[in-house]
């Protein structure tokens, strides 16, 4: 069910992006284009947050509760890398 919700949200973003492409092709007002791009970015950030939340509540919890130290370190490093990449944008 959660996967279906994620796919639905991503398809909505895809449609929105096609609309922005049309706006640019039709030489729409720049500020209007920027606002639509910001809306797409916000929607993608929301999808990303939900996927991360799912990951934290499944894979990360499983790794942390497990006995494999290397697996715990790996998943924690992945989370750190995700946050580092988000600040580079």
The pLDDT score that the predictor gives to residue 1 is 64
The domains found in the chain, sorted by start residue, are 2-88 (1.20.58.1000)
3-state secondary structure of 81: helix
pLDDT tens-digit readout, 66-83: 999 999 999 999 999 998
pLDDT exceeds 90 at position 87: no
Q: 14-41 burial string, b = 16+ CB within 10 Å, else e?
A: eebeeebeebeeeeeeeeeeeebeeebe
Q: Which two tokens stand for residue 24?
A: 């640019």
pLDDT tens-digit readout, 18-67: 999 999 999 999 999 999 999 999 999 999 999 999 999 999 999 999 99
Higher pLDDT, 42 or 86: 42
């Amino acid at each position: 069910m959660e996967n279906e919700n994620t796919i639905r949200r991503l398809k909505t973003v895809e449609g929105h992006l096609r609309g922005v492409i049309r706006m640019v092709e039709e030489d729409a007002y720049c500020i209007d284009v920027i606002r639509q791009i910001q809306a797409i970015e916000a929607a993608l950030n929301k999808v990303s947050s939900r996927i991360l939340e799912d990951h934290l509540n499944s894979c990360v919890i499983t790794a942390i509760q497990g006995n494999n130290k290397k697996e715990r370190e790996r998943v924690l490093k992945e989370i750190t890398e995700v946050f580092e990449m988000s600040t580079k944008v």
